Amino acid sequence: MLKAIKIRLYPSDDQVVYLNKLFGCSRFIYNKCLNYKISTYEKEKKSTSLSDTGKVLTSLKSEFTWIKESHSKVLQQTLINLESAYKNFFREKKGFPNYKSKHSNQSVRFPVDAISGVNGNRINIINALKDIHFKCSRSDEKYLNKHQDMIKSGTLSKNKAGQYYFSILIDKPNKIIGDGTGMIGLDLGIKDFIVTSEGQRFENLKSTRNNQDKLSRLQRQISKKVKGSNNRNKARIRLAKFNNKINNQKEYYLHSVINQILSENQTIVMEDLNVSGMLKNHNLAKSIQELSLNRFKSILKYKSEWYGRELIFVDRFFPSSKLCGKCGYKKSDLTLKDREWICPECGSVHDRDLNAANNIKSEGYKIKIGLSSPELTLQESKTVVPRRMKKQIEESYHFI
C-alpha cells in the first residue's frame, strides 16, 4: 500500500531562487512539448511518443542553455507527466492537457533516485536542495526517518501563497486501528455534516460561510490595487494564505472525523452520492460545495483500505429519508423542510437524519449478506422488505 506524506518545506533564499528556476524550466518544457504534440497531430495526423518529446527536449537544451541549470531527471519526469495526461484523455476520457501558467500552483516531480534521504527534520533532495528544514506530524517524521528505503517518488509544489510542500510517495503496510467490530450508517447533510445510526452528530463547520466577511474584505483590497503593482501582489498573497488556512482547517476536520469513525467500527455504510448532480441545485450548490463531500468520500475509501475496514455504498436512489425504519412505509411527499415526520402506518415519530442513517445501516447489512444490491433502484411500495425475508433480517439485528 502506497501512502503520500506531505511535508512543509522551509528553503533558504538561494534554494528559493533555484526552485523558481526549476518550476519555470519544467513549465517551459511542458508547454513547448504540448504545443509540439498538438501541432504535429494537426499537420501530420499522427500522434507522438515519449521518445519524440525527448528529442524536442534535447533540441531545446541546445537552443536555450539555461535549461541545463535544472535537474535533468526532473525535466524527464515532466515529459512523463505530459504523456500520462495525454493517455488519460484518450483512454479514460479525462480533460485535455492544458498549458501551464506561472500564476497557478507550480509542481515538479522527482524520481526515487533523485531523493537523497531524510535526517531528523531535514531532507536532502538533490545537490542544489540539500538540508532543507521541513515540518509535518511527529508520527510522519518518525516514519520517514525509519523507512527511507521505501520512498518511491516525490512531488515538490508551490501554492499561490508562496508556500513550498513536498509530497513523498512511500510504501506503507496496512495496520489496524482501534478495536471496532460493529456496523455504522452515515447520513451526510447540510444542517449536520454527518449523523450516524448511533445518534452521534458531527457539526457542519461552515468554514467558508463563517469567514465570508473577511474573504470579501480581502478580495475588495485586491480590486482596489493597481494591476501589476507590488501592493496588489501582497494583497493577493494575503488572500491566498487565508484561503489556504480555511482549507487546512477543513482537511484536518475531515481526517479527525474519519479516524474516529474507523477506530470504532468495522463496517461503514454510506450513500453513493451524486455530488455533481447535487451541485446543479443552485439554491444549495454553495452549501454542498462547502462540505467537500467528494474529498470526504476519497479519504474514507483509502483509509478504510489502509486499516482493514469494510466500506459499503448504498445506491444513490435508495429513499433513506422517506422510509419508516420500523414498518418500511415510504412517505413519498416528504420534503427537505420536513425535519421530523410521523409514520401514518405505525405512528412512529422520526428524526429525518437519524432515520436515514438507520435505514442506510439496515440496507448496508442486506447488501453485506446478499439480500440486496448496492445498485438497486427501489420502486414505489409500502413495504420494501419481502415478508419471507423480514424474519431473517429481524433475527440478524443483533449484529447491527
264 is catalytic: no
Which of 261, 271, 358 shows the shortest CA–CA distance to 314?
271
Q: Name the active-site residue from 187, 264, 290, 363.
A: 187
353 is catalytic: yes
Q: Name the active-site residue from 264, 290, 353, 363.
A: 353
Angle at the Cα of 291 from the Cα atoms of 285 and 292, rounded to 5 degrees = 100
- Nearest-angstrom CA–CA distance, 48 and 122: 41
Which of 211, 231, 210, 213 shows the shortest CA–CA distance to 222?
231
Q: Name the active-site residue from 13, 179, 198, 271.
A: 271
Spatial CB neighbours of 224, under 8 Å, sequence gap ≥ 6: none
Q: Which residues are catalytic?
A: 187, 271, 353
